[in-house]
Amino acid sequence: KALTLTDKQSEPVESFFLARGDPNRKVESIQPGFLTVLKPSDASVWNAYATAQPEKTTGRRTALAEWITDPQRGAGHLAARVIVNRLWQHHLGRGIVRTPSDFGVRGERPTHPELLDWLAVQLIEDGWSLKKMHKRILMSAVYQQDSTFDATKNEIDPDNHLWWRRRPIRMESEVIRDTMLAVAGNLNRSMYGPGIKPRLHPDLIATGSTQKWPTLKEDGPDTWRRSIYIFIRRSVLMPLLTVFDGPDATQSCSRRQTTTIPLQSLELLNDRFARQQAESLAVRLDDEVGGDAKNRIDRAFWLTLSRAPEETEVENSLAFLETQKVEYEESGSKNPNGDALIDFCQALMNLNEFVYVD
């Protein structure tokens, strides 16, 4: 079940202005209103809209939602600008307005105000279709630029305000986890229902006396759902999500910080979840293309990097597989070829090309 806010009765509860916030010092009764800077010339239309709702609700929340999305009499144009700016930021790393939660005088001015206005109008005319807006941005010349560095252009515009190149964008922590599950063939696409509690190292869940995290030996299909379903607890955080800058779920986050630190590579190399997905990918390769090393390499590149390997990459991959095989043979492994393939799969998942959209 989804937790939501709703009215319990048609008559609104009386609210008061409280002196210094003290609930025992009620000064005067107050009524809901609109932001002064966006206040419509005639607010009575929204009051009438609220009273026209079913008897079991005050209608105030519906009236507010209608006002936010009404481009003629409400805040629709501002809402559209904010939405398209967030979508632009999602795909290109930075918004047209670099302060996505502040379009006021304290925020940054848009780098391309006409573009922002045009996109906002298109969103409204398309019936607020986010799918169409995603497509419009992804098919734009700006998004389809390569990330090649140009010293001359960089000297003129070092901060890329003019969008002369598309910088590589690292995927969010949740997307990295979901992508690993997808390429390994393990992603559980079932929707809805309760959250999941994936396996964590016992040391991370040793503390706490109530609502203990389950002590799973291994993850499985039940915990291989999309990361959006992961149960969040402030005192129990997943290292894979945390090290890749997963945000604090207790606070609003309009723009994630993106860091590049050694712990990220170490996490992908040593985390049990990452190793498990590499093992599953190795099994998938064996099932799909058999035992031929070159076919395995080609298929692995397509699954993880969405492209065919170059000749030098094939040669390096074959050399890597052979080296790992010899090492496993010397260490007494029962399946040196399989273990070497797992190492190869895990190495591909550790490439920048795997975790960055370029």
- Domain layout of the chain by residue ranges: 15-69, 76-156, 170-358
pLDDT at residue 234, rounded to an integer: 80
Whether residue 197 contacts residue 214, with contact meaning beta carbons closer than 8 Å, is answered with yes
Phi, psi for residue 346 in degrees, rounded to 5? -65, -35
Collapse the DSSP code of 252 into the 3-class scheme (helix H, G, I; strand E, B; otherwise coil) and give the result. coil
pLDDT at residue 43, rounded to an integer: 65
Positive or negative: CA dihedral 358, 91, 255, 346: negative
| Rg (alpha carbons) of the chain, rounded to whole number | 26
pLDDT at residue 301, rounded to an integer: 98
DSSP 229: G
Whether residue 200 contacts residue 213, with contact meaning beta carbons closer than 8 Å, is answered with yes
Cα–Cα distances in angstroms (integers) from residue 342 to residues 286, 320, 325, in the given order: 11, 11, 11
Single out the residue of 80, 110, 115, 105 nearest to residue 95, CA to CA: 110
**pLDDT by 10s per residue, the chain, length 358:** 667 777 777 777 888 999 999 989 999 998 877 777 776 666 666 666 666 666 677 777 888 888 889 888 888 999 999 999 999 999 999 999 999 999 988 999 999 999 999 999 999 999 999 999 999 999 999 999 988 889 999 999 999 989 999 888 999 999 999 999 999 999 999 999 989 999 988 888 876 555 678 888 888 999 999 999 999 888 788 899 999 998 888 888 888 888 889 999 999 999 999 999 999 999 999 999 998 999 999 999 999 999 999 999 999 999 999 999 999 999 999 999 999 999 999 999 999 999 998 7
Integer Cα distance of 100 and 94 in angstroms? 9
Q: At residue 338, what is the residue type?
A: G
Confidence (pTM): 0.85
pLDDT at residue 105, rounded to an integer: 87
Whether residue 95 contacts residue 115, with contact meaning beta carbons closer than 8 Å, is answered with no
Cα–Cα distances in angstroms (integers) from residue 259 to residues 46, 125, 148, 264, in the given order: 45, 38, 21, 9
Q: What is the dihedral of CA 122, 127, 133, 136, to 10 degrees?
A: -60
